[in-house]
């Protein structure tokens, strides 16, 4: 999914949610799809199709500069794997700064298994390195990365597909 489809699907399924998100993913919080200018044009049809346009505004921006503030939860789908640790920490730090109070960070990413068992994320890991300088990470690697941005890994939740939901909470300053 992308171009606001995750926000649209979550908003349609859960009436109490409103959403916003960067690039080809979504932050669930606020009432926005937060994307670079070249991406937000595709958000309207997805929101209209899900019947949630009235609950999700569209805002242009870059998560490298800032993230719309005030959210209780932020969902980043297929974002962190695009970037090396330093760039990922910039993004996560901006999300951390944006929280209104205690909140939850959810990352939908590949969570590679420890060791070297076969996993679809192994090939994607190489592709990310070659194309973006990013990487797929294990739960242990998220556990090491997240505290540097003010979060603590709560759990990595497997899904029916190859991705996992990396569930993190704010750490008190």
Average pLDDT over residues 87-101: 92
The residue annotated as part of the active site, out of 14, 16, 81, 119, is 81
Predicted TM-score of the model (pTM)? 0.78
Instruction: Give residue-wise pLDDT tens across range 15-57.
Output: 544 444 443 334 333 456 777 888 777 787 878 887 877 777 7
Whether the pLDDT of residue 88 is over 60: the answer is: yes
The pLDDT value recorded for residue 55 is 73
pLDDT of residue 16: 47
Which among 12-16, 43-47, 76-80, 166-170 has the top mean pLDDT?
Answer: 166-170
Interacting residues of 108 by C-beta distance below 8 A, sequence separation 6+: 6, 25, 75, 76, 77, 78, 163, 164, 165, 166
- DSSP code of 82? G
- Please state the domain count of the chain: 1
Distance CA 170, CA 147 (A): 9
Q: Which of 44-53, 86-95, 97-106, 114-123 has the lowest mean pLDDT?
A: 114-123
Burial 48-71 (b: 16+ CB within 10 A, else e): eebebbebbbbbebebeeebbeeb
Residue of 98, 170, 164 whose CA lies nearest to 136: 164
Tokens 């932020």 found at: 74
Taking residues 113-118, report their average pLDDT: 73
Q: What is the CATH number of the domain that holds 9?
A: 3.40.50.150
User: Across all residues in the chain, what is the average pLDDT?
Assistant: 78
**Catalytic site includes residue 16:** no
Residue partners of 106: CB distance under 8 A and separation at least 6: 28, 73, 74, 75, 76, 165, 166, 167, 168
Sign of the CA dihedral running 128, 130, 132, 134: positive
**Range of the structural domain that residue 68 is part of:** 5-170
As to burial, measured by CB atoms within 10 angstroms (0-12 exposed, 13-18 middle, 19+ buried), residue 87 is middle
């Amino acid at each position: 999914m992308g171009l606001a489809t995750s926000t649209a699907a979550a908003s349609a399924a859960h009436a109490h949610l409103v959403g916003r998100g960067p690039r080809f993913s979504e932050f669930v919080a606020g009432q926005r799809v937060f994307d670079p200018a070249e991406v937000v044009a595709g958000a309207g049809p997805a929101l209209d199709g899900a019947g949630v346009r009235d609950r999700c505004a569209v805002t242009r921006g870059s998560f490298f500069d800032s993230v719309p503030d005030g959210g209780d939860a932020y969902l980043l789908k297929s974002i962190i794997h695009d970037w090396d640790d330093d760039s990922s920490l910039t993004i996560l730090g901006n999300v951390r700064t944006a929280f209104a109070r205690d909140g939850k960070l959810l990352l939908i990413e590949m969570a590679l298994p420890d060791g070297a068992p076969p996993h679809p994320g192994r090939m994607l890991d190489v592709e990310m390195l070659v194309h973006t300088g990013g990487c797929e990470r294990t739960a242990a690697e998220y556990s090491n990365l997240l505290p540097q941005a003010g979060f603590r890994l709560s759990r990595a939740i497997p899904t029916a597909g190859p991705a996992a939901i990396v569930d993190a909470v704010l750490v008190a300053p």
